[in-house]
Amino acid sequence: MKSRNQKPTERFSPRQQQNWDWRAAANFIFGGAGGGLLLLAAFTHLMGGDARLPLLAGMALIGTGLTCVWFEIGRPWRALNVYRHIATSWMTREAMVALPLFACGALAALTGHTVLVFAAGLLGAVFLYSQARILNANKGIPAWRHPRCLPLLGATGLAEGAGLMALFAPFVAPGVVAVVAVALIAALVLRVVMWRSYLSALRADGAPVGSLKALDAIDMRLMAIAHAVPAGLAGVAAIGVPGASLGLLVAGLLAVAGGWVFKFTLIRRAAYSQGMAVPHLPVRGRGVAGPRVKPGWTGQG
Protein backbone atom coordinates (compact mmCIF):
# COMPACT_ATOMS: atom_id res chain seq x y z
CA MET A 1 0.00 0.00 0.00
CA LYS A 2 2.87 2.29 0.91
CA SER A 3 4.71 1.69 -2.36
CA ARG A 4 1.73 2.88 -4.41
CA ASN A 5 2.04 6.32 -2.83
CA GLN A 6 5.75 6.62 -3.51
CA LYS A 7 7.09 8.75 -6.30
CA PRO A 8 9.02 6.72 -8.88
CA THR A 9 12.31 8.41 -7.94
CA GLU A 10 11.83 7.57 -4.25
CA ARG A 11 12.11 3.89 -5.04
CA PHE A 12 15.66 4.47 -6.30
CA SER A 13 16.81 6.83 -3.54
CA PRO A 14 19.54 5.87 -1.07
CA ARG A 15 18.40 3.92 1.96
CA GLN A 16 19.83 4.04 5.45
CA GLN A 17 21.78 0.86 6.16
CA GLN A 18 20.31 -1.44 8.81
CA ASN A 19 22.87 -4.26 8.80
CA TRP A 20 25.21 -2.70 11.38
CA ASP A 21 23.40 -1.73 14.57
CA TRP A 22 24.64 -0.06 17.78
CA ARG A 23 26.82 -3.08 18.59
CA ALA A 24 28.81 -2.65 15.40
CA ALA A 25 29.05 1.08 16.09
CA ALA A 26 30.30 0.27 19.60
CA ASN A 27 33.22 -1.68 18.14
CA PHE A 28 34.42 1.42 16.28
CA ILE A 29 33.61 3.71 19.21
CA PHE A 30 35.45 1.74 21.89
CA GLY A 31 38.05 0.12 19.65
CA GLY A 32 39.22 3.35 18.06
CA ALA A 33 39.44 5.09 21.43
CA GLY A 34 41.32 2.14 22.90
CA GLY A 35 43.82 2.05 20.06
CA GLY A 36 44.42 5.78 20.38
CA LEU A 37 44.87 5.46 24.14
CA LEU A 38 47.49 2.72 23.74
CA LEU A 39 49.45 4.98 21.41
CA LEU A 40 49.24 7.96 23.77
CA ALA A 41 50.13 5.76 26.73
CA ALA A 42 53.35 4.77 24.98
CA PHE A 43 54.08 8.41 24.22
CA THR A 44 53.50 9.39 27.85
CA HIS A 45 55.66 6.51 29.07
CA LEU A 46 58.56 7.76 26.99
CA MET A 47 58.10 11.13 28.72
CA GLY A 48 58.38 9.53 32.15
CA GLY A 49 54.77 8.61 32.96
CA ASP A 50 53.40 5.31 34.24
CA ALA A 51 51.65 3.59 31.33
CA ARG A 52 50.23 0.56 33.14
CA LEU A 53 46.76 1.87 33.97
CA PRO A 54 46.20 3.51 30.53
CA LEU A 55 47.35 0.29 28.86
CA LEU A 56 44.83 -1.76 30.81
CA ALA A 57 42.09 0.76 30.05
CA GLY A 58 42.94 0.77 26.34
CA MET A 59 42.81 -3.01 26.14
CA ALA A 60 39.52 -3.03 28.07
CA LEU A 61 38.00 -0.61 25.56
CA ILE A 62 39.17 -2.67 22.59
CA GLY A 63 37.93 -5.86 24.23
CA THR A 64 34.54 -4.26 24.91
CA GLY A 65 34.20 -3.19 21.29
CA LEU A 66 35.11 -6.62 19.96
CA THR A 67 32.70 -8.27 22.40
CA CYS A 68 29.86 -6.02 21.21
CA VAL A 69 30.40 -6.92 17.57
CA TRP A 70 30.77 -10.60 18.54
CA PHE A 71 27.30 -10.54 20.12
CA GLU A 72 25.91 -8.91 16.97
CA ILE A 73 26.54 -12.13 15.06
CA GLY A 74 23.54 -14.45 15.08
CA ARG A 75 25.81 -17.46 15.60
CA PRO A 76 28.74 -16.05 17.59
CA TRP A 77 31.15 -18.96 17.09
CA ARG A 78 31.12 -18.27 13.37
CA ALA A 79 33.25 -15.26 14.24
CA LEU A 80 36.25 -17.59 14.04
CA ASN A 81 35.79 -17.55 10.26
CA VAL A 82 37.09 -13.99 10.25
CA TYR A 83 40.64 -15.38 10.47
CA ARG A 84 40.33 -17.03 7.08
CA HIS A 85 40.55 -13.92 4.89
CA ILE A 86 43.69 -12.04 5.87
CA ALA A 87 44.65 -11.39 2.23
CA THR A 88 41.43 -9.55 1.40
CA SER A 89 39.60 -8.43 4.55
CA TRP A 90 40.41 -5.57 6.90
CA MET A 91 38.12 -7.19 9.46
CA THR A 92 40.48 -10.17 9.44
CA ARG A 93 43.47 -7.88 9.83
CA GLU A 94 41.78 -6.09 12.73
CA ALA A 95 41.20 -9.45 14.44
CA MET A 96 44.75 -10.60 13.72
CA VAL A 97 46.23 -7.43 15.21
CA ALA A 98 44.09 -7.82 18.34
CA LEU A 99 45.85 -11.07 19.34
CA PRO A 100 49.42 -9.72 19.70
CA LEU A 101 47.99 -6.43 20.96
CA PHE A 102 46.42 -8.07 24.01
CA ALA A 103 49.46 -10.26 24.62
CA CYS A 104 51.93 -7.40 24.31
CA GLY A 105 49.75 -5.00 26.25
CA ALA A 106 49.33 -7.43 29.12
CA LEU A 107 53.07 -8.05 29.36
CA ALA A 108 53.74 -4.30 29.15
CA ALA A 109 51.26 -3.61 31.97
CA LEU A 110 52.82 -6.39 34.05
CA THR A 111 56.47 -5.50 33.54
CA GLY A 112 56.45 -1.85 32.52
CA HIS A 113 59.24 -2.59 30.06
CA THR A 114 59.72 0.30 27.63
CA VAL A 115 60.04 -1.92 24.55
CA LEU A 116 56.80 -3.73 25.36
CA VAL A 117 54.97 -0.47 26.09
CA PHE A 118 56.16 0.99 22.79
CA ALA A 119 55.14 -2.18 20.92
CA ALA A 120 51.68 -2.07 22.51
CA GLY A 121 51.30 1.55 21.45
CA LEU A 122 52.35 0.72 17.90
CA LEU A 123 49.88 -2.17 17.74
CA GLY A 124 47.17 0.18 19.03
CA ALA A 125 47.88 2.51 16.11
CA VAL A 126 47.72 -0.43 13.66
CA PHE A 127 44.41 -1.54 15.20
CA LEU A 128 43.03 1.99 14.78
CA TYR A 129 44.16 2.07 11.16
CA SER A 130 42.59 -1.34 10.47
CA GLN A 131 39.25 -0.17 11.83
CA ALA A 132 39.33 2.92 9.65
CA ARG A 133 40.04 0.77 6.60
CA ILE A 134 37.06 -1.47 7.39
CA LEU A 135 34.66 1.43 6.95
CA ASN A 136 36.55 2.95 4.04
CA ALA A 137 36.48 -0.37 2.16
CA ASN A 138 32.67 -0.52 2.25
CA LYS A 139 32.04 0.91 -1.21
CA GLY A 140 28.25 0.71 -0.94
CA ILE A 141 28.11 3.59 1.58
CA PRO A 142 29.27 6.90 0.04
CA ALA A 143 29.90 8.56 3.41
CA TRP A 144 32.28 5.72 4.36
CA ARG A 145 34.07 5.14 1.10
CA HIS A 146 35.09 8.77 0.60
CA PRO A 147 38.90 9.05 0.63
CA ARG A 148 38.83 11.71 3.35
CA CYS A 149 36.87 9.50 5.73
CA LEU A 150 40.00 7.43 6.39
CA PRO A 151 42.21 10.25 7.79
CA LEU A 152 39.22 11.64 9.70
CA LEU A 153 38.72 8.34 11.53
CA GLY A 154 42.44 8.21 12.28
CA ALA A 155 42.43 11.75 13.65
CA THR A 156 39.32 10.97 15.69
CA GLY A 157 41.02 7.99 17.31
CA LEU A 158 44.06 10.10 18.17
CA ALA A 159 41.88 12.82 19.70
CA GLU A 160 39.99 10.24 21.75
CA GLY A 161 43.26 8.67 22.89
CA ALA A 162 44.61 12.07 23.91
CA GLY A 163 41.35 12.86 25.69
CA LEU A 164 41.47 9.61 27.64
CA MET A 165 45.14 10.18 28.45
CA ALA A 166 44.15 13.59 29.80
CA LEU A 167 41.89 11.79 32.29
CA PHE A 168 44.75 9.61 33.52
CA ALA A 169 47.61 12.12 33.37
CA PRO A 170 47.07 13.85 36.75
CA PHE A 171 47.25 10.45 38.47
CA VAL A 172 49.83 8.46 36.50
CA ALA A 173 51.96 11.19 34.93
CA PRO A 174 51.70 14.40 36.98
CA GLY A 175 55.06 15.56 35.69
CA VAL A 176 53.90 15.61 32.06
CA VAL A 177 50.39 17.05 32.45
CA ALA A 178 51.36 20.07 30.37
CA VAL A 179 52.72 17.82 27.62
CA VAL A 180 49.51 15.78 27.56
CA ALA A 181 47.49 19.00 27.40
CA VAL A 182 49.49 20.19 24.40
CA ALA A 183 49.07 16.76 22.75
CA LEU A 184 45.32 17.01 23.28
CA ILE A 185 45.20 20.46 21.68
CA ALA A 186 47.20 19.23 18.69
CA ALA A 187 44.94 16.20 18.27
CA LEU A 188 41.81 18.38 18.45
CA VAL A 189 43.19 20.77 15.84
CA LEU A 190 43.99 17.83 13.56
CA ARG A 191 40.48 16.42 14.01
CA VAL A 192 38.89 19.79 13.18
CA VAL A 193 40.97 20.08 10.00
CA MET A 194 40.06 16.54 8.93
CA TRP A 195 36.38 17.04 9.82
CA ARG A 196 36.09 20.24 7.80
CA SER A 197 37.99 18.72 4.89
CA TYR A 198 35.72 15.67 4.91
CA LEU A 199 32.48 17.66 5.03
CA SER A 200 33.50 20.09 2.29
CA ALA A 201 34.68 17.27 0.02
CA LEU A 202 31.52 15.27 0.65
CA ARG A 203 29.39 18.23 -0.37
CA ALA A 204 31.54 19.03 -3.42
CA ASP A 205 31.74 15.45 -4.70
CA GLY A 206 28.09 14.68 -4.07
CA ALA A 207 26.57 12.53 -1.36
CA PRO A 208 23.14 11.25 -0.31
CA VAL A 209 21.02 14.02 1.16
CA GLY A 210 20.35 11.95 4.27
CA SER A 211 24.07 11.57 4.96
CA LEU A 212 24.71 15.31 4.78
CA LYS A 213 21.69 16.10 6.95
CA ALA A 214 22.88 13.73 9.66
CA LEU A 215 26.42 15.10 9.63
CA ASP A 216 25.34 18.74 9.42
CA ALA A 217 23.07 18.19 12.43
CA ILE A 218 26.07 17.58 14.71
CA ASP A 219 28.52 19.98 13.03
CA MET A 220 28.16 23.08 15.21
CA ARG A 221 27.89 21.13 18.46
CA LEU A 222 31.06 19.24 17.64
CA MET A 223 32.91 22.44 16.84
CA ALA A 224 31.86 24.21 20.04
CA ILE A 225 31.48 21.53 22.71
CA ALA A 226 33.93 18.86 21.52
CA HIS A 227 36.70 21.11 20.18
CA ALA A 228 36.65 24.78 21.17
CA VAL A 229 35.82 24.25 24.86
CA PRO A 230 38.23 21.35 25.50
CA ALA A 231 41.02 23.08 23.57
CA GLY A 232 40.58 26.15 25.77
CA LEU A 233 40.60 24.09 28.96
CA ALA A 234 43.64 22.15 27.80
CA GLY A 235 45.39 25.42 27.00
CA VAL A 236 44.82 26.61 30.57
CA ALA A 237 46.26 23.32 31.86
CA ALA A 238 49.26 23.61 29.55
CA ILE A 239 50.37 26.91 31.07
CA GLY A 240 50.12 25.52 34.60
CA VAL A 241 47.27 27.53 36.09
CA PRO A 242 46.52 26.22 39.63
CA GLY A 243 43.61 23.80 39.70
CA ALA A 244 43.81 23.26 35.95
CA SER A 245 43.88 19.47 36.38
CA LEU A 246 40.11 19.48 36.82
CA GLY A 247 39.75 21.48 33.61
CA LEU A 248 41.94 18.96 31.80
CA LEU A 249 39.68 16.14 33.00
CA VAL A 250 36.64 17.95 31.59
CA ALA A 251 38.52 18.65 28.36
CA GLY A 252 39.36 14.97 28.00
CA LEU A 253 35.77 13.89 28.58
CA LEU A 254 34.43 16.37 26.01
CA ALA A 255 37.03 15.36 23.42
CA VAL A 256 36.17 11.68 23.82
CA ALA A 257 32.41 12.29 23.83
CA GLY A 258 32.66 14.28 20.60
CA GLY A 259 34.48 11.47 18.86
CA TRP A 260 31.94 8.91 20.01
CA VAL A 261 29.00 11.05 18.87
CA PHE A 262 30.63 11.49 15.46
CA LYS A 263 31.29 7.77 14.99
CA PHE A 264 27.81 6.75 16.10
CA THR A 265 26.35 9.30 13.68
CA LEU A 266 28.59 8.14 10.84
CA ILE A 267 27.75 4.46 11.27
CA ARG A 268 24.09 4.55 12.27
CA ARG A 269 22.60 7.83 10.98
CA ALA A 270 24.69 9.00 8.03
CA ALA A 271 25.21 5.59 6.44
CA TYR A 272 23.02 5.79 3.36
CA SER A 273 23.45 3.42 0.45
CA GLN A 274 24.43 4.34 -3.08
CA GLY A 275 20.93 4.25 -4.51
CA MET A 276 20.37 4.06 -8.25
CA ALA A 277 20.97 6.53 -11.07
CA VAL A 278 19.40 6.96 -14.49
CA PRO A 279 22.17 7.96 -16.97
CA HIS A 280 19.67 9.59 -19.35
CA LEU A 281 15.97 10.11 -18.95
CA PRO A 282 14.20 8.32 -21.82
CA VAL A 283 11.99 10.17 -24.28
CA ARG A 284 9.05 8.91 -26.30
CA GLY A 285 9.02 9.70 -30.00
CA ARG A 286 11.10 12.64 -31.16
CA GLY A 287 13.23 14.74 -28.91
CA VAL A 288 16.36 14.58 -26.80
CA ALA A 289 16.83 12.44 -23.73
CA GLY A 290 16.90 14.35 -20.46
CA PRO A 291 19.89 14.80 -18.13
CA ARG A 292 21.00 12.08 -15.78
CA VAL A 293 19.08 11.76 -12.54
CA LYS A 294 20.41 10.48 -9.22
CA PRO A 295 17.50 10.60 -6.77
CA GLY A 296 18.27 11.46 -3.18
CA TRP A 297 21.72 12.96 -3.89
CA THR A 298 22.87 16.53 -3.54
CA GLY A 299 22.98 18.17 -6.94
CA GLN A 300 21.72 14.88 -8.44
CA GLY A 301 25.19 13.41 -7.77
Quick: pLDDT tens for 126-152: 999 999 999 999 988 999 999 999 999
Q: What is the dihedral of CA 25, 27, 33, 34, to 10 degrees?
A: 170
Counting residues of the chain whose pLDDT is more than 70, the rounded percentage is 84
- Which pLDDT belongs to residue 201? 95
CB-facing half-sphere around the CA of 199: CA atoms within 13 A: 17
Closest CA to 185 of 227, 247, 242: 227
- Which pLDDT belongs to residue 1? 41
- Which pLDDT belongs to residue 2? 47
- Which pLDDT belongs to residue 301? 47
List of the chain residues with pLDDT < 70: 1-12, 72-83, 85, 276-293, 299-301
CA 191-114-110 angle, 5° bins: 100
CB under 8 A, 24+ apart: contacts of 147-150: 147/201, 148/194, 148/197, 148/198, 148/201, 148/202, 149/198, 149/266
Distance separating alpha carbons of residues 4 and 213, to the nearest angstrom: 26
DSSP state of 275: -
- Which pLDDT belongs to residue 294? 73
Task: Domains for the chain: give ranges and CATH numbers.
Answer: 18-274 (1.20.1630.10)
All residues at 6 or more sequence positions from 55 whose CB lies less than 8 Å from its CB, including other chains: 38, 41, 105, 108, 109, 117, 120
Indicate the pTM of the whole model. 0.88
